[in-house]
Amino acid sequence: MKMKPTLILTISMIMLLMTACGKKHDNTVKIAQQYGLAYAPIQIMKEKGFLEEALPNNKIEWVKLSNTAAIREAVLADNLDVGFMGIPPFLIALDNGMEWKMMTGLSSCPIGLVTYDDNIKTLKDFTSKDKIALPQPGSIQHILLAMACERELGKADALDNQLVSMKHPDGFQALTAKQDIKAHFTSPPYLFEELANEDNHMVITGEEAMGSEFTFIAGACTEDFYTNNKKEYSALIEAINKSIEFMINNEDETLDILSNLYEMDKEKLKGYLNYEGMKYATDIQGVDKFVDFMVRNNYLNKSYKSEEVIWE
C-alpha cells in the first residue's frame, strides 16, 4: 500500500481547493468593471465613496477585469456580485442558463468602425483580405458589426472570418501601425484618439449599425444577490444615480477626478465627455432589438422579453 500517503495528500489538496473557492457569505459587495470612459460613473462613485456611505456596515470591493467572459465566470464562481458589461455578452450568459438580470443602465456612447484606408467607405468595400480588430466574438462591437453586415451585405456573418480579437489598446496600436489590421471597431477614448488622427475615418457608427440608440454598458447581478441583498441592491442603484447627478452638477470636480484616473489632459477629457452621443443614464435601451437580431442569427437559442432580462 505504497500509494496511501499520496492518495491522502491528493484528497486533502482537493478538499482544500474546494473550501478556498466555495461560496462566500459575508457582508462584502464585490463589483466588477472594465476599462474606458463608459465606466466613468463607477469611478466617481468609487472616488466619492457614495456606496460606502450608503452601506456603512458592508465592505465594498472594486475589481477591474479585462473582459466580459472573466466577469461572467467570476459571478458564477460566486466571487462577484455585480458586473458591468455590454448587453449582448450579458444575453449570451443568460441564454446559457446563468440566473441573472440587468439592474441598471450606465452609459451610452459613440462607438464605431474606424479605418485608415481611403478606399473603404462602406462595409461593401472590405476585401476578404482586410482584417478587422474588435474585442471578441459575442461582444457588443461584434454584434453591432454583424447587424450592419446583415443590413448592408445581406449576411450577418459576412465579415466574421476577417475578425481578429484584440483588446482596445492592442487594436489601437495595430491600426496605427497600418500592418494587416485595416479597421478597428472600438469605443472611447480609443475611438476619439483614432479619429483625432487625420489618416483615419469612420466607416460606420454603432448607432447606424443598430439603427437606433442603445445602452452601451449595463450592470447585472444574480438572482441570489437580488433576492437576498435588497438593501445592497437599492443602495447601489441609488449610488449610481447620485454619481451621474454629481457628474452633471459638478463638472470641474468630475474632470479633476477623471483626468487623474485616466491620466488624461483635462481639456481633452472635457471634449470627450461632451462628445455627441456620450450619455450617462440608468435606463436600458435596445434590449429587444439585440434579442431579435441575436435569436434570428443563432447567437441566442431562445427569445426574451424585457421583464425576463431586467429586474423589477
Partner 1 sequence: MKKLYIRRFLWIGFFIIIWEVTYYSNVYARQIFPSIEQIIKSLGISLTKGDLLMQIGFSFIIILKGLLIGIVLSVLLSFFDYFFKNFSSLLDTIIGILHPIPGIALLPLVIIWFGVGEKAILVIIVHSVLWPMTINMKTGFRSVDNEYIEVSKNFGMNIWQIFYYVLIPLSLLHIVSGLKIGWSRAWRALISSEMVFGAIGPFGGLGWFIFEKRVYMDTPGTYAGLVVIIIIGMIMEDFIFGRLEKKCEEILL
14 makes contact with partner 1 (CB under 8 A): yes
177, 198, 252, 263: which one binds partner 1 (CB under 8 A): 177
114 makes contact with partner 1 (CB under 8 A): no
Residue 118 grid coordinates: 481611403
163 makes contact with partner 1 (CB under 8 A): yes
Q: How far is the CB of 253 from partner 1 (least distance, A)?
A: 34
Q: What phi-psi label fits residue 99: left (phi over 0), alpha (psi between -120 and 50 degrees) or beta?
A: beta
Residue 261 grid coordinates: 484616473
1, 4, 5, 18: which one binds partner 1 (CB under 8 A): 18
Nearest to partner 1 of 228, 234 (CB atom): 228
d(CA 285, CA 237): 17
If binding means CB under 8 A, how many residues of this protein chain bind partner 1? 42
Nearest to partner 1 of 93, 123 (CB atom): 93
d(CA 153, CA 161): 14
What residues form DSSP beta bridges with 133?
Answer: 164, 184
CB 126 within 8 A of CB 182: yes
Binding mask 81-100 for partner 1 (x = CB under 8 A): --------x--xx--xxx--
d(CA 85, CA 39): 10
d(CA 146, CA 199): 25
161, 212, 274, 301: which one binds partner 1 (CB under 8 A): 161
Eight-class DSSP state of 168:
H
Q: Is 73 helix (H, G, I), strand (E, B) or coil?
A: helix
User: Among the candidate windows 42-50, 68-76, 109-117, 301-309, which touches partner 1 by CB under 8 A?
Assistant: 68-76
Site residues (vs partner 1, CB under 8 A): 7, 10-11, 14, 18, 21-22, 67-69, 72-73, 76-78, 89, 92-93, 96-98, 131, 133, 136-139, 161, 163-167, 169-170, 173-174, 177, 179-181, 299
